[in-house]
Amino acid sequence: MIEHSLALVGFGNVGQAFARLLLRKQAELEKNFSLIFRITGIATGRHGMAIDPAGIDLTRALEIMQKGGNLDELSKTPKPDSMLAFIRTCPANVLFENTPVNHETGQPAIDHLRTALECGMHAVTANKGPVVHAYRELTDLAHAKGLRFMHEAAVMDGAPIFSLLRAALPAAELKGFHGILNSCTNLLLGLMEQGNSFDEAVRYAQSIGIAETDPSADIDGWDAAIKVAALTTVVMGIPLKPQQVERQGIRGITPQMTEEARQVGERWKLVCRARLENGNVIASVQPQRVKPDSPLYSINGTSSYVQFELDVLPGLGIVESDPGPETTAYGLLADWLNIIRGV
């Protein structure tokens, strides 16, 4: 039986979904993987920190978060004075980093993951920032330490995008990809097709938790651009920053434009693209009208889609239907299990 001690940095929607998934899968992990675990630390930005080498009561931690309480009451050690001090203090084998994304620099998540690796922990994240801004640094550091830096959930949640290209398609050369990678804008465009104004669509998306209070990262294409940069950096092996992606959001799309497209059988989509041309990557995020014969046409609501163009497979597509924090949580779990399995 293998016992792992886990530390969680960030305990918002994704972190809590991951905790619930661990509880639900606990018996299965023990039976099928001979694996038992303890959560030895949870750190949040606004709801305190807890460290208990013997294991934190996850059910109690979730109850505290649901009530808007403070996790300090669960701690068995003095409270660290910073997130980095928490990581250095917490006795864990694996760190799961799920703080909010910083599109411009990837911080402070990069420092969290770097510190975990330096302290001898495997590092797993759903955060796109470190993948874009420090992929090579963190991967090399993990290799030097005999550890792993994993990030499957950073793009398309639990869908096996990075691992597909890494493990399942040996000797395949990726020439490019395109798709719909931002679920919020896809939902907004669909609502506008139904006659909602742009502002009405945004308010609805906010009411169901799909759009942030400030939805500009989605609406202006930054979230899509950083996902394009992450895929390009990892699966194409060419470092790319979101600032290098030609970017246009959906603010200029009106209900009149969606109606004009509908009348000729087309739909507006925020389309992400990257293609290798003469050794350089040409990448873009921009709204486009798509016809019914496009795979993008039938991607509805908060679903996502990516199609890869490889030298041996000219069109390989993956659809993720209606993702949420639970699917992102599975991506984190899959990364941890693949570390254990040596995949």
pLDDT digit string (tens) for 215-239?
Answer: 999 999 999 999 999 999 999 999 9
Looking at the whole model, is its pTM more than 0.75? yes
Task: State both tokens at 83.
Answer: 């997130």
The 3-state DSSP class for residue 96 equals strand
Q: How confident is the model at residue 169 (pLDDT cuts 50, 70, 90)?
A: confident
Q: Is 227 a catalytic residue?
A: yes
Pick the catalytic residue from 31, 128, 175, 227. 227
Backbone angles phi, psi at 15, to 5 degrees: -60, -40
Q: How confident is the model at residue 213 (pLDDT cuts 50, 70, 90)?
A: confident
Q: How confident is the model at residue 209 (pLDDT cuts 50, 70, 90)?
A: confident
Q: Which regions of the chain carry the CATH code 3.30.360.10?
A: 170-320
Q: What is the pLDDT of residue 26?
A: 95
Strands, sheet with 122-125, edge to edge from the N-terminal-most edge strand: 49-51, 35-43, 2-9, 94-97, 122-125, 149-150
How does DSSP assign 1-34, residue by residue?
A: -EEEEEEEE--SHHHHHHHHHHHHHHHHHHHHH-
Q: What is the pLDDT of residue 212?
A: 81
Q: Which regions of the chain carry the CATH code 3.40.50.720?
A: 2-158+325-341
- Strand pairing partners for 38? 5
CA distance readout (Å), 229 to 146, 167, 234, 243, 329: 27, 20, 9, 9, 22
User: Mean pLDDT over residues 85-102, rounded?
Assistant: 96
State pLDDT tens for residues 262-273. Answer: 999 999 999 999
Task: State both tokens at 111.
Answer: 């420092």
State pLDDT tens for residues 54-80. Answer: 999 999 999 999 999 999 999 999 999
Spatial distance between the Cα atoms of 73 and 47, rounded to a whole number of angstroms: 10
Q: What is the pLDDT of residue 168?
A: 83
Q: What is the pLDDT of residue 340?
A: 92
* Beta-sheet pairing, 35-43 with 49-51: antiparallel
Task: State both tokens at 250.
Answer: 């959906």
The answer to whether 129 touches 157, Cβ cutoff 8 Å, is no
- Say whether pLDDT at 341 is over 70: yes
- Say whether pLDDT at 343 is over 80: no
* Between residues 279 and 72, the one the model is more confident about: 72
User: If you average pLDDT over every residue of the chain, what do you get?
Assistant: 94
Alpha carbon 35 to chain centroid, angstroms = 25
CA distance readout (Å), 37 to 7, 76, 188: 11, 18, 40
State pLDDT tens for residues 97-126. Answer: 999 989 889 999 999 999 999 999 999 999
CATH for 2-158+325-341, among 3.40.50.720, 3.40.50.2300, 3.40.50.300, 3.50.30.50?
Answer: 3.40.50.720
Share of the chain above pLDDT 70, in %: 100
Q: What is the pLDDT of residue 267?
A: 97
Q: What is the pLDDT of residue 279?
A: 82
Within 10 Å of residue 195's Cβ, how many Cβ atoms? 11
State pLDDT tens for residues 119-165. Answer: 999 999 999 999 999 999 999 999 999 999 999 999 998 889 998 88
Q: Which long-range contacts (CB under 8 A, 24 or more apart) does 293-298 make?
A: 296/179, 296/180, 296/269, 296/271, 297/266, 297/267, 297/269
The answer to whether 216 touches 224, Cβ cutoff 8 Å, is no
Q: Which candidate, 168, 178, 134, places its Cα nearest to that of 154?
A: 134
Please state which architecture CATH assigns to domain 170-320: 2-Layer Sandwich (3.30)
3-state helix vs strand vs coil in the chain, percent to 5: 45, 20, 35
Strands, sheet with 280-290, edge to edge from the N-terminal-most edge strand: 246-247, 280-290, 267-277, 174-180, 304-310, 316-320
Q: How confident is the model at residue 274 (pLDDT cuts 50, 70, 90)?
A: very high
CA distance readout (Å), 242 to 130, 223, 225: 12, 9, 5
Q: What is the pLDDT of residue 331?
A: 95
DSSP H helical ranges for the chain: 13-33, 58-66, 83-89, 109-118, 128-145, 161-163, 183-193, 198-207, 216-219, 222-235, 255-263, 325-341
